[in-house]
Amino acid sequence: MAMQFYASPEQVQRDRSEYARKGIARGRSAVVLTYEGGILLVAENITTLRKISEIYDKIAFAAVGRYNEFEALRRGGVRMADMVGLSYDRRDVTARALANTYTQTLGAIFSETQKPYEVEICVAQVGATPEADELYRITYDGSVMDEPGFMAMGGQAEAIGTVLRDRHDPSAELTAALALAAEALGSVGGENGQARTLTPKQLEVAVLDRRRPGRAFRRLSGASLTSLLGHESVPESELGDVDAAPPAPSEGKPVVSAAPETDEDSQK
């Protein structure tokens, strides 16, 4: 009978952590930060695969790492949010509850399986006021942190986070917040340590707009993103190129059945 090599639980955990961290560091980075009108999510992304997505009315999801793994987590979060919203009330769907679920899922995968997920995710919820905004970072081992208004994930996140920490302003307008996010992402990865200038085609950008009724999530791309990165004056009401459905009306919902009248009903 062949003898199995013994490895202490501490060594196994260290090996899994190192494996996951290396996988995450190979990917391109993403940043999430608050601004005056809501929450801005920016990822360096040259593919058509999404790193930033909508989970529910006021909740967004951003991730770095292995795509198939964080996409499975995103889908699970959407299903959970829909189930809670339909079973109870839409207000019962919160970023905190989703973060807790992701924490349990990633923690179980890290502890019980041979290969951990190589992912780091952010669940963000925009509130009615800047003080009510919520950002949760969930790492590969199930750890969760409540971030103070900004965060960086993947790649050289520590260096990017330093740029955000020094200059982040929660009262800044969208143009200034986007410029800071693009500058922070471009501050690493250049030749000989030089900064890069990222173009709109290299960025995936979305916002959670607190002033928008119904669904707050919208993507920025095309001419809108180009104008914002070029510091041109563009009213936020004219920012198009979104792939989210228009917000559902909060008032004036029909209260009469749309079913055709029967003969008995028409005689009343």
pLDDT tens digit string along 20-57?
A: 999 999 889 999 999 999 999 999 999 999 999 999 99
So what's the pLDDT on residue 243? Answer: 47
Euclidean distance between CA atoms 172 and 177, whole angstroms: 6
How confident is the model over 203-249, as pLDDT tens digits?
999 999 999 988 999 999 999 999 998 844 444 444 444 444 444 44
Task: Pick the more confident residue, 154 or 264.
Answer: 154
- Counts of helices then strands in the chain (DSSP H, E): 7, 10
Q: Residue 65: which pLDDT band, with cuts at 50, 70 and 90?
A: very high
Looking at 73-77, 124-128, 188-192, 195-199, which range is the least confident one? Answer: 188-192
For 100, the token pair is 């807790």
Q: Measure the CA angle with vertex 37, ends 33 and 43; round to 5°.
A: 35
The average confidence (pLDDT) of the chain is: 86
Show the CA angle centred on residue 151, arms to residues 245 and 16, nearest 5°: 105
Give the architecture (CATH level 2) of 11-245. Answer: 4-Layer Sandwich (3.60)
Handedness of CA 13, 18, 19, 25 (dihedral sign): positive
First to last CA, the chain: 87
Q: Domain spans of the chain?
A: 11-245
Q: Return the half-sphere exposure (C-beta side, CA atoms, 13 A cut-off) of residue 145.
A: 13
Packing angle, helices 157-167 and 174-186, rounded to 10: 150
Instruction: HSE, CB side, 13 Å, CA atoms: give it for residue 158.
Output: 2
At 83, list the tokens. 């189930």
Say if pTM beats, i.e. exceeds, 0.75. yes
Question: How much of the chain exceeds pLDDT 90, in percent?
Answer: 70
